[in-house]
Amino acid sequence: MLIAVGGPQYRAGSHRQFALLARSLATRGIPALRFDYRGMGDSTGEQRDFTDVDADLRAAIDAFCARVPSLREVVIWGLCDAASAALFYAGQDERVKGLVLLNPWARTEAGLAGTTLRHYYRARLLQPDLWRKLVSGRFDWRAAAGGFFRLAGKALRRPASAPAESPGLHERMLRGMRAFGGNVLLIDSGNDLTAREFLDMAGASPAWRRLLAAPQVQRRTLAEADHTFSRRAWRDQVADWTADWVRAW
């Protein structure tokens, strides 16, 4: 299991999630490697973002295989933009046989606006404190309406077309998923706009719907979990799902 880092952080992960995951997998006989991209943590070099870490992932897998000569298959585990980076890379390396994708990053301005309108505002209308503020006159409806219409404008805005030689984020993710023929475990958090944005994007795309319905793709949802699975119960559930899925091959 190669644990890739998402966001501007190093290999321990938020609330030490990656370190704890690696230890949990190791106790079950699954080798795990955490590493820092160039320019992060203990790694030297120029810092880069998730769209440009193919060489880092390949170098990490090379080192992993050299350290564990019996290794024949590698799974990349990635949260947020590390999941997206794993999608970009996996189809290029025959050693990668599986992907664990958690709350993949599919962020666009229009996508975030639409997701916020569909999920945040809908949930807000069901919250009792909103109605108490309305009744008491403590609710600034002008500011709320302004925010709503600004989001609606962004959601309806047509994205600028990316040059053919430079595909956009969604297209790169789709190409990566198509190119990868291995097993995929998709885990999403129910209380996370990043996860909702990815699922909204995928749900609106016939190509994504077909790919996610393929027999080699399994899906799990933690309905109450936040983006980083910050509670111990959520973190442990993710580790259990990951280990059970790998051992079921």
pLDDT of 162: 46
Q: Does 161 reside within a domain? A: no
**174 shares a domain with 235:** yes
CATH of residue 15: 3.40.50.1820
Flag whether 226 is in a domain. yes
- Give residues with Cβ within 8 angstroms of 195, minimum separation 6: 103, 104, 188, 189, 227
| Of the residues 98, 122, 156, the one at which a domain ends | 156
Alpha-carbon torsion angle 62, 66, 68, 69, nearest 10? 110
User: Tell me, what's the pLDDT at 163?
Assistant: 47
Same-domain check for residues 237 and 131? no
Choose the most confident range, by mean pLDDT, from 10-14, 56-60, 145-149.
Answer: 56-60
CA–CA distance, 200 with 106 (Å, rounded to integer): 10
Determine, yes or no, domain membership for 162. no
One domain for residues 242 and 204:
yes
For residue 130, being part of any structural domain is answered with yes
149 lies in the same domain as 177: no
Tokens of 101: 């994708």
To 5 degrees, how large is the angle CA 93–CA 206–CA 78? 35
Q: What is the helix (H) or strand (E) element at residue 67, kind and residue range?
A: helix 54-67
Domain count, the chain: 2
Residue 128 lies in a domain: yes
Give the single-character DSSP code of 118: I
Are 77 and 187 found together in one domain? yes
In a domain, 21, yes or no: yes
The answer to which of 65-79, 93-107, 137-151 has the lowest mean pLDDT is 137-151
191 exposure class (CB count in 10 Å sphere: 0-12, 13-18, 19+): middle
Same-domain status, 63 and 137: no
| Average pLDDT score over residue span 223-242 | 97
Q: What is the pLDDT of residue 164?
A: 45
pLDDT (tens digit, 9 = 90+) per residue, 154-181? 666 655 554 444 579 999 999 999 999 9
Residue 163 belongs to a domain: no
For residue 188, the enclosing domain spans 2-107+168-247
- Looking at the structure, tell me whether residues 93 and 20 fall in a common domain: yes
Given a contact cutoff of 8 angstroms between Cβ atoms, the answer to whether 43 and 37 are in contact is: yes
The answer, yes or no, to whether residue 82 has pLDDT greater than 90, is yes
Cβ neighbours of 54 (radius 10 Å):
13
Long-range contacts of 145-152 (CB under 8 A, 24+ apart): 148/117, 148/121, 151/113, 151/116, 151/117, 152/113, 152/117
Residue 199 is assigned to a structural domain of this protein: yes
Same domain, 83 and 189: yes
User: In terms of domains, do 21 and 120 share one?
Assistant: no
Q: Is the dihedral of CA 62, 12, 18, 78 positive or negative?
A: negative
Is there a single domain that holds both residue 129 and residue 200? no
pLDDT at 122: 61
* pLDDT value, residue 90: 98
Domain co-membership, 23 together with 64: yes
Average pLDDT, the chain: 88
Q: What is the mean pLDDT of residues 51-59?
A: 97
pLDDT at position 219, please? 98
Is residue 178 within 8 Å of residue 87, measured between CB atoms?
no
Say if residue 98 is in the same domain as residue 23.
yes
pLDDT digits (tens, 9 = 90+) for 25-37: 999 999 999 999 9
Structure tokens at 116: 């916020």
Condensed to tens digits (0 to 9), the pLDDT of residues 106-117 reads 988 776 776 766
Q: Residue 79: helix, strand or coil by DSSP?
A: strand
